[in-house]
Amino acid sequence: MGTNGTTCPGPMKATSNGVFQGENPLEHALPLLILQICIVLLLTRLLAFLLRPLRQPRVIAEIVGGILLGPSALGKSSKFINTVFPPKSLTVLDTLANLGLIFFLFLVGLELDPKSLKRTGKRALSIALAGITLPFVLGIGTSFALRSSIADGASKAPFLVFMGVALSITAFPVLARILAEIKLLTTDIGKIALSAAAVNDVAAWILLALAVALSGEGSSPLTSLWVFLSGCGFVLFCIFVVQPGIKLIAKRCPEGEPVNELYVCCTLGIVLAASFVTDLIGIHALFGAFVIGVIFPKEGNFANALVEKVEDLVSGLFLPLYFVSSGLKTNVATIQGAQSWGLLVLVIFNACFGKIIGTVLVSLYCKVPLDQSLALGFLMNTKGLVELIVLNIGKDRGVLNDQIFAIMVLMAIFTTFMTTPLVLAVYKPGKSLTKADYKNRTVEETNRSNKPLCLMFCFQSIMNIPTIVNLIEASRGINRKENLSVYAMHLMELSERSSAILMAHKVRRNGLPFWNKDKSENNSSSSDMVVVAFEAFRRLSRVSVRPMTAISPMATIHEDICQSAERKKTAMVILPFHKHVRLDRTWETTRNDYRWINKKVMEESPCSVAILVDRGLGGTTRVASSDFSLTITVLFFGGNDDREALAFAVRMAEHPGISLTVVRFIPSDEFKPENVKIEITEDLIGSGATRLIDIEAITELKAKIKEQESSRSNSDSESQIIYEEKIVKCYEEVIEVIKEYSKSNLFLVGKSPEGSVASGINVRSDTPELGPIGNLLTESESVSTVASVLVVQQYIASRPVGISKNVTTEESLVEDSESP
């Protein structure tokens, strides 16, 4: 269709015929929208990358990116704004942004668990109320100053409520992201902050609903009352009618099975229908989506599957458009003159003063230490997306003018930006552990000092649990409950996705990681099964396993492991191998990130480390029963790592079901190593003090065997520890000797064996963290075995520990079910 010659611009066509047809694609809705989305994504991701060293949440980059594209910066150029963001395109942009925001608010509602609000402690509830009341009062006071200066025509009641809500909000999703970034998410201070923020968030939405109800154009008080009462009726309808239907759908989505597409479409349709109803009432379409998210059942497979299908598209693609839509309305240039800048300072001061002082005073009253109280004050002052939603609703309804809108947006950026650096500055949790506090960093030292052995098992998923339970059973000895302390740490990735905060909620629920005490729920997650397994093992074996949870990005989760190991004073950290065995007995990589974690822990651990290569340790053996039995073989070549493996194996041999064989390799006079250079180097290292300590360890082992034999002289049973020396002439004889023990259940080997015999073993592999013997038993075709392998690295004091300076004695960086 051609133009009709009128001066009024007609509506934009959806698509163009292309430049070769003489049309400009930027004058059509779809290509222009695609360009806008690409520019927004590029700019916000670039800013997020630049702000990452400052440890700022991504929302800061998105808000700043929106402002830069608006009239405050690039939008000053009329050519740019008329080409990329012409006024006639803003309706499409705003519609798409608000559609994305509807689904994002549904996800935000999913993050809030009403059941957890009921269990909010008195401290968190008091802090939340203080963090709402004082800023709300100061916001009302600030509104009087603004109305008398730059907001003459603003309606009194709506303006007061909007200002009060804007200053009292704590952005729950942004706060959770900041806590995760500075590794406080699962500490006591993190739990208090999140619980208080959750209460604050719900209260803010209620107040915002009130503000929206009061802000109707030309409406009477009776109309506002009807809007508010209709909103309350809508919430009750969702709770008593919609929620049972959603629960019925959720029950038809069992764990481990794909979710029916019909259920997903039905749920998204419910979200849109609820948004339509709230918009019809006159509140806002966002409230309907948020309410559906809050009442949505958090247990089971359905919620997680729904989040996975919706979140990436919404938060990654559509949500940044909302920040641009907001940025296009923000003109910093409207803040002119000393009066306007003075009012900006006043707003920022009142926002910070109300939140920080109110939170600090109540925290001190609740006997929270001063440094933690200050940190809580700064954390509760976090603003973000919800703040922008409040401000945009206020601007769209004519409650806030351009100047006040710009002032409030700058206040939100400032208060959020300062949170991380101020928390890190004021919160110094405890002192580093000294060497005197942490002595037994190896199993060998622990055995010699006759102190309780402390082990930390890390696992990635429920598939690792049977092997871990069997290994714990093997390590407990005979009636040594008081001499064995075990921690089981679940490694959980905290991704850039906001739904990762759901994971933190599950961890903290009822104070126990992975544990759901609600017996009415039929769906049991794998997390529940983890705790059930450890609890059953505790009752059977009388060994208490303390579940822990490390929630961090994969790039830094090794720090959590090392810090927790030092805080718990563990002698050994046991990590799962990054590969698992398939049914056809071939290796499959679980995830390459786990290999990097294992390498970093080996480099920075404050204690000994072992990597468990699992081939089904123990098979179907039932733990803690009289039938429990394992055949363990130690391949001893010499050196620190081999002695640590031997010490751990000797500890295991105390269990009546363990049969231990220690094989020591001794080179014959005519032994010819394949690599002369390595052989000379290893001889130098293995000589002297190290070799004497090896001989001493073997001597102690022989004495233990004799003592064991004498104690069993009246019994027909054989000794549980067998010591054998194998004199070998070449590398091939070493292989043949190892093959003799291929039917063992478990091999214990050192990562870096020393001596001339070990120097001849050179296995080509892409897993150097297993060492030559570990790779020989795992990757090489020379030795065919179905035995699991535990590759041990002993802690050496000279090895630098990169993060021990950050380890504290007062706060745990992971969620712990009970203190030691």
Asked whether residue 654 carries a pLDDT value surpassing 80, the answer given is: yes
113-316+338-426 shares its CATH topology with 443-512+525-668+691-708+717-793: no
| Residue predicted with more confidence, 65 or 190 | 65
Asked whether residue 621 carries a pLDDT value surpassing 60, the answer given is: no
Asked whether residue 298 carries a pLDDT value surpassing 50, the answer given is: yes
Asked whether residue 40 carries a pLDDT value surpassing 90, the answer given is: yes
Asked whether residue 454 carries a pLDDT value surpassing 50, the answer given is: yes
User: Would you state the pLDDT for residue 520?
Assistant: 35
| Rounded Cα distance, 587 and 779, in Å | 9
Asked whether residue 89 carries a pLDDT value surpassing 50, the answer given is: yes
What pLDDT band is residue 394 in, cutting at 50, 70 and 90? confident
The alpha-helical segments, DSSP class H, found in 476-578 are 500-508, 526-541, 557-567
Residue 16's nearest CA partner among 27, 3, 6 is 27
Average pLDDT, stretch 574-583? 87
| Rounded Cα distance, 160 and 157, in Å | 5
CATH number of 443-512+525-668+691-708+717-793: 3.40.50.12370
According to DSSP, residue 818 is labeled S
Report in angstroms the alpha-carbon separations of 690 from 219, 337, 641, 791: 88, 77, 11, 20
Residue 482's nearest CA partner among 457, 441, 444, 452 is 452
Other residues' Cβ atoms within 10 Å of the Cβ of residue 366 = 16
- CB 678 within 8 Å of CB 759: yes
Q: Is 633 helix (H, G, I), strand (E, B) or coil?
A: strand
Q: Which two tokens stand for residue 461?
A: 């998923």
Q: Is 240 helix (H, G, I), strand (E, B) or coil?
A: helix
**Which tens digit of pLDDT belongs to each residue from 95-149?**
999 999 999 889 888 877 777 776 667 888 899 999 899 999 999 999 888 888 7
**Which tens digit of pLDDT belongs to each residue from 343-353?**
999 999 999 99
Q: Which residue has the tokens 């065995």?
A: 581
Question: Of all residues in the chain, what percent carry a pLDDT higher than 70?
Answer: 82
Q: Which residue has the tokens 């963001």?
A: 85
| Rounded Cα distance, 598 and 766, in Å | 14
Judge residue 268's burial from the number of C-beta atoms within 10 Å of its C-beta, 0-12 exposed, 13-18 middle, 19 or more buried.
middle
Mean of the per-residue pLDDT values of the chain: 81
Separation of CA 609 from chain center: 23
Q: Which of 358-367, 727-736, 808-817 has the lowest mean pLDDT?
A: 808-817
What pLDDT band is residue 783 in, cutting at 50, 70 and 90? confident
- CB 175 within 8 Å of CB 369: no
User: Would you state the pLDDT for residue 563?
Assistant: 87
Asked whether residue 559 carries a pLDDT value surpassing 80, the answer given is: yes
Domain-by-domain residue ranges, the chain? Answer: 113-316+338-426, 443-512+525-668+691-708+717-793
Residue 468's nearest CA partner among 328, 573, 363 is 573
Q: Record the pTM.
A: 0.75
DSSP percent split of the chain into helix, strand, coil, nearest 5: 60, 10, 30
Q: Which residue has the tokens 């990762």?
A: 500
CATH topology for 113-316+338-426? Na+/H+ antiporter like fold (1.20.1530)
**Which tens digit of pLDDT belongs to each residue from 195-234?**
888 888 888 888 888 888 777 665 567 787 888 889 899 9
Asked whether residue 272 carries a pLDDT value surpassing 90, the answer given is: yes
Separation of CA 540 from chain center: 32
**Which tens digit of pLDDT belongs to each residue from 135-186?**
999 999 998 888 887 766 666 778 888 899 999 988 887 887 788 778 787 6
**Which tens digit of pLDDT belongs to each residue from 687-746?**
567 788 888 888 888 888 887 777 665 554 455 888 998 888 888 888 889 889 888 889
- CB 610 within 8 Å of CB 774: no
For 83, how many CA atoms within 13 A lie in the half-sphere containing its CB? 9
User: Would you state the pLDDT for residue 452?
Assistant: 83
